[in-house]
């Protein structure tokens, strides 16, 4: 009987306190949904990934946002997680379609492309043109 009372008196309150702390942290993160187009060589990137990383060199910290790129479009709300506002480093990776019509689908179309952006709470759309890289 002592084990049960120890569990009820000590362990359960500790677990509940931990869960409440985690929930509290979650509610402080304000993710912002973004959408837009991604093109390379004048054409939509058919398959890819876009990652929005807070730029710590500019004092922005928090979780990264991301989205799948499908037929040149991305939407963090539908296919990913929203980004936080502020200075961000954006990394884009694109792949040929899996049907093999434009090359080996496991080989990227271009080296990962990085750029910097600054978003505000009013920003909803960001389009990206991936340049030729040498």
Q: What are 20-50's pLDDT values in tens digits?
A: 444 444 446 789 999 999 999 999 999 999 9
What is the predicted pLDDT for the residue at 93? 95
Please tell me whether residue 114 adopts helix, strand or coil conformation: strand
How far is Cα 74 from Cα 56, in angstroms, rounded to an integer?
24
Q: What is the CA radius of gyration of the chain?
A: 21
| Global pTM exceeds 0.85 | no
Is residue 56 scored above 50 in pLDDT? yes
Check: CB of residue 47 under 8 Å from CB of residue 96.
yes
Pairing of strands 35-40, 128-130: parallel
Pairing of strands 43-44, 47-54: unpaired
């Amino acid at each position: 009987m002592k084990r049960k009372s120890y569990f009820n008196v000590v362990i359960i309150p500790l677990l509940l306190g931990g869960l409440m702390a985690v929930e509290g942290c979650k509610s402080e993160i304000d993710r912002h949904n973004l959408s837009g187009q991604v093109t390379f060589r004048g054409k939509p990137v058919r398959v890819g990934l876009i990652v929005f990383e807070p730029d710590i060199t500019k004092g922005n910290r928090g979780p990264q946002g991301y989205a799948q790129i499908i037929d040149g479009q991305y939407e963090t709300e539908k296919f990913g997680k929203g980004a936080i506002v502020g200075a961000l480093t954006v990394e884009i990776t694109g792949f040929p379609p899996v049907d093999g019509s434009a090359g080996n689908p496991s080989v990227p179309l271009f080296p990962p492309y990085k750029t910097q952006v600054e978003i505000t709470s009013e920003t909803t759309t960001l389009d990206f043109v991936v340049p030729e890289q040498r």
